[in-house]
Chains A and B, each alone.
Chain A
Amino acid sequence: MRRRLLFLLPVALFAIVALYLVVGLSPERDPTLVPSVMIDKPAPDFVLPGLFDDGQGLSTDDLQGQVSLVNFFASWCVPCRAEHPILLRLAREEGVPLYGIAYKDQPDDSRAWLAELGDPFQRIGVDLSGRTAIDFGVYGVPETYVIDRAGRIRYRHVGPLTPAVIEETVLPLIAELRS
């Protein structure tokens, strides 16, 4: 009998995977709504070395006193490439302070990547070990957080930013937090 159960295992595993695939197809799926236990909590404490040789690192203290965005990125991440023009536009046209955290990415690669695509960030911290990302509760890159004046996380977006998310959610939220 136990032997029989063993032979049922493949079909059971397949059923579970198929269920996930069905959920993946669901048209109501909205990747932008991610509940996070971190919402309205202060951003985790971190001190990261900087990406460039100017001695500027990134730490929790940098996030105080202004409304800012923290973006986790990596040069190996294909969706990051897709959202990059949006980050550049945010920094240049909307004047939103952007802080980057290079997630598990070799500094040389990050630098080359930013040299190629443009650098929208005011400061960039290097999170080689991924420790800070764990503290933030990052699922994977890219992820973006909106931080308010008091340094609390107010919004989290998983996956590449899209123009719709920026116009409908991120920019109104920033305006509200600033006023």
Chain B
Amino acid sequence: MIVEIGHFALVLALCTALVQASLPLIGAARNNAAWMAVAQPAAQGQLLFVAIAFAALTYAYVTSDFSVLNVAANSHSAKPLLYKVTGVWGNHEGSLLLWALILALFGAAVSWFGDNLPATLRARVLAVQAMIGVGFLSFMLLTSNPFARLIPAPADGNSLNPLLQDPGLAFHPPMLYLGYVGFSMSFSFAVAALIEGRVDAAWARWVRPWTLAAWVFLTAGIGLGSWWAYYELGWGGWWYWDPVENASFMPWLLGTALLHSAIVVEKRGALKSWTILLAIVTFAMSLLGTFLVRSGVITSVHAFASDPERGLFILAFLVIAIGGALVLFALRAPALQGGGLFAPISREGGLVLNNLLLSTATATVFLGTLYPLFLDAFGAGAVSVGPPFYNATFVPLMIPLILVMAIGPMLAWKRGDLAGALGRLSFAFIGAAAVALVTWRLRSDGPALAVLGMAVAAWLLVGTLVELAERVKLFRAPLAESGRRARQLPRAAYGMTLAHAGLAIAIIGMTGASAWKQEEVRIMRPGETVAVAGYDYRLEGVERVQGPNYFADRASFTVTDGDRVVAMLHPEKRFYPVQRMPTTEAAIHTTGIADLYAVIGDPDGAGGWTVRIFHEPLVPWIWGGLLVMVAGGLTSLSDRRLRVGVPARRRQIAAAGAGA
């Protein structure tokens, strides 16, 4: 019964979305306030109905109702409760429902907090958002119904893919979807602005927090996914340039560009049509990611259950949504009023360069990801261009980007003083040179690129801190004065400092992990010792252990550095009998500077075990850097939200004053 209610709620949500997508749009065109006002209750109703559907499916999962096809295919009664709940979105149908839920949530948020938007803009934004909702809800109801029944019901289910039964992955899809769907908001605003024919500072002020929120979630989602791949796949790598990873990386790159170009629209009124285009293409990349993962056009380590028919539906949706938006762009964007002029060397110039480099980087990732598909048109199969391609194309684009990142914030709007900025960055230059020298002295065996990587990371880190110090006039004014300035600095400024510094930290981690990783693969018997990067790993033994829905071979390593015991590592090779599938659970001990990483493989039948030991220098810095970036985004967001609310609040106070 509850399952049928869920199905019914989904149909109602689609009906509500259809109303929301049409009436407010017509109302905005005819300036009919009543029709426009339909958008708000419709958006909230859509959220309510999708939430009911989501709750119904969660209920079916928690109670292990195997008469529901989706539950039977993806859950199992012996699965821990956490994975019963996360199993809701660990499959194609359920993850679509999560998409729709987040989409409706964002729409409802505009209806709640959008009081200070012009009425026509708000009606149009909500209508466009509802059109996306119509696409996803009808996709679910027509091709991927999560509530389909299975009669007769099986005694037990197939369970969730064991690789996905992991806390890191459990929360990775919701984060990613919050990011993807967050860009739908920027898309809706862009399309609404094209229909309105007006882009102004108020528009940009509204788009930025949404883009920033989406960016924060996407950063966290990519970080979680990468972390999961690092410890769960047991290959000791954290980024594979896999199509599915790239699918989340492309919207991130473009979203980062959008974040920066929206600043120019807000502060200077320039780059309007470019920002609109970016907003459209960023969301296109989100949809493309969905398409690639679910259609099976490209092979990947973690593709969803794929189906060409579903692929066709998403493709049709992609063509209508993005094609339509781009046609609208071609028709309306030339009429947009351009804004402030600026010299090439200026804050705007720096941001334009940022946009150019990020867009080009996205294009290289796009080509690398879809290259097999382009080849397919000529009949070839799933080949991989792999890291050599990206190292040759993507990395060289990042280096100028990072160099400019430290300089850009030092330049003034309209016309900047490059010599002055470089002069103030002399500390950063000294820092970069010192780090390069130290790196080269310590690790003369490593690749030359590693020295460069460490140097640019130091340049960015010191440059970012110098910029903050400049703003508060540290050491130039009395400390009390600097403290006062530091308190008055807007949160957005701290957000930028944190985000840029976080990237610098992450680059240090990525450089170290790529350049100085050490790896040892061998057969070991209990009692044997292997030395990797100065640490001795002694295999104490391997025992059979029983988990809730798996059994495992659990190895014990004692890791020593000289006489000091550093850690006990317990890697496992698990076997999930329901799916007849093994997984590896790497054991990782982090020293903060490096990860000691052990994986146990198969027995050789003669008392020995295949063992892989990785020494992963600086890898923890990658996650640390990403966390700092997320913190930067959140800090900036806390500032924006206040500013967005300020005009409305001021008006209320004024009204209250007038009333009294």
Mark A residues whose CB is within 8 Å of B.
3-4, 7-8, 10-11, 14-15, 17-18, 20-25, 27, 29-35, 74, 76-80, 82, 104, 108, 112, 115-116, 130, 139-143, 157-160
Binds A, one of B307-315, B422-430, B460-468: B307-315
Q: List 19 A-B contacts (CB under 8 A).
A: A8-B330, A18-B315, A18-B323, A20-B374, A21-B291, A21-B318, A23-B376, A24-B373, A25-B297, A31-B381, A76-B388, A78-B242, A139-B383, A140-B371, A141-B384, A142-B384, A157-B381, A158-B375, A159-B381
**Contact indicator B379/A27 (Cβ below 8 Å):** no
Task: List which B510-542 residues lie within 8 A (CB) of chain A.
Answer: 519, 521-522
Q: Which of A7, A30, A143 contacts B383 (CB 8 A)?
A: A143
**Contact indicator A115/B315 (Cβ below 8 Å):** no
Q: Which of B329, B521, B601 contacts A10 (CB 8 A)?
A: B329
B377-389 contact mask (Cβ, 8 Å, vs A): 1 or 0: 1011111111110
**Given A11-B327, A74-B386: A116 in contact with B612 (beta carbons within 8 A):** yes
Min C-beta distance of B156 to chain A, whole Å: 30
**Contact indicator A25/B295 (Cβ below 8 Å):** yes
**Contact indicator B374/A11 (Cβ below 8 Å):** no
**Contact indicator B330/A142 (Cβ below 8 Å):** no
**Given A4-B334, A25-B308: A141 in contact with B383 (beta carbons within 8 A):** yes
**Given A20-B373, A20-B377, A31-B382: A79 in contact with B327 (beta carbons within 8 A):** no
**Contact indicator B373/A21 (Cβ below 8 Å):** yes
- B610 interface hit (Cβ, 8 Å): yes
**Contact indicator A7/B329 (Cβ below 8 Å):** yes
Task: List which B237-288 residues lie within 8 A (CB) of chain A.
Answer: 240, 242, 273, 277, 280-281, 284
- Best-surrounded residue of B280, B298, B312, B382 (most CB of chain A within 10 A): B382
**Given A3-B334, A7-B329, A21-B315: A79 in contact with B384 (beta carbons within 8 A):** yes
**Given A11-B323, A15-B323, A115-B522: A78 in contact with B379 (beta carbons within 8 A):** no
Chain A residues in 8 Å Cβ range of B291: 21
**Contact indicator B300/A160 (Cβ below 8 Å):** no
* Cα-based distance from A31 to B312 in the complex (angstroms): 19
Interface size class of B (residues with CB under 8 A): 35 or more
- B372 interface hit (Cβ, 8 Å): yes
**Given A7-B329, A24-B297, A140-B384: A29 in contact with B376 (beta carbons within 8 A):** yes
**Contact indicator B323/A14 (Cβ below 8 Å):** yes
**Contact indicator A116/B521 (Cβ below 8 Å):** yes
**Contact indicator A130/B388 (Cβ below 8 Å):** yes
Chain B residues in 8 Å Cβ range of A23: 376-377
Min C-beta distance of A113 to chain B, whole Å: 9
Residue of A nearest to B291 (CB): A21
Chain A residues in 8 Å Cβ range of B384: 76-80, 140-142
List 4 A-B pairs, minimum CB-CB distance, nearest first.
A159-B381, A31-B381, A140-B383, A11-B326
Residue of B nearest to A161 (CB): B381
Contacts beyond the supplied A33-B379, A157-B381: 4 A-B pairs with Cβ under 8 Å: A23-B376, A25-B312, A29-B376, A112-B519
* Cα-based distance from A90 to B295 in the complex (angstroms): 31
* Cα-based distance from A142 to B372 in the complex (angstroms): 12
* Cα-based distance from A23 to B375 in the complex (angstroms): 10
Min C-beta distance of B602 to chain A, whole Å: 10
* Cα-based distance from A3 to B273 in the complex (angstroms): 12
Min C-beta distance of A165 to chain B, whole Å: 10
* Cα-based distance from A108 to B521 in the complex (angstroms): 11
Residue of B nearest to A81 (CB): B301
Chain B residues in 8 Å Cβ range of A11: 323, 326-327, 329-330
* Cα-based distance from A116 to B521 in the complex (angstroms): 7
**Contact indicator A77/B386 (Cβ below 8 Å):** yes
Min C-beta distance of A4 to chain B, whole Å: 6
Chain A residues in 8 Å Cβ range of B385: 140
- Best-surrounded residue of B240, B300, B381 (most CB of chain A within 10 A): B381
**Contact indicator A158/B370 (Cβ below 8 Å):** no
Chain B residues in 8 Å Cβ range of A25: 295, 297, 308, 311-312, 315
Min C-beta distance of A72 to chain B, whole Å: 9
**Given A115-B521, A116-B601: A158 in contact with B380 (beta carbons within 8 A):** yes
* Cα-based distance from A24 to B373 in the complex (angstroms): 6
* Cα-based distance from A77 to B323 in the complex (angstroms): 34
- B299 interface hit (Cβ, 8 Å): yes
**Given A20-B370, A20-B373, A104-B388: A7 in contact with B334 (beta carbons within 8 A):** yes
Residue of B nearest to A36 (CB): B380
**Contact indicator A78/B521 (Cβ below 8 Å):** no
Residue of B nearest to A138 (CB): B383
**Contact indicator B379/A31 (Cβ below 8 Å):** yes
* Cα-based distance from A57 to B300 in the complex (angstroms): 32
* Cα-based distance from A104 to B415 in the complex (angstroms): 46
**Contact indicator A116/B297 (Cβ below 8 Å):** no
* Cα-based distance from A100 to B192 in the complex (angstroms): 56
* Cα-based distance from A7 to B519 in the complex (angstroms): 51
- B322 interface hit (Cβ, 8 Å): yes
Chain B residues in 8 Å Cβ range of A160: 299, 381-382
Min C-beta distance of B615 to chain A, whole Å: 13
Chain B residues in 8 Å Cβ range of A79: 299, 382-384
Min C-beta distance of A170 to chain B, whole Å: 14
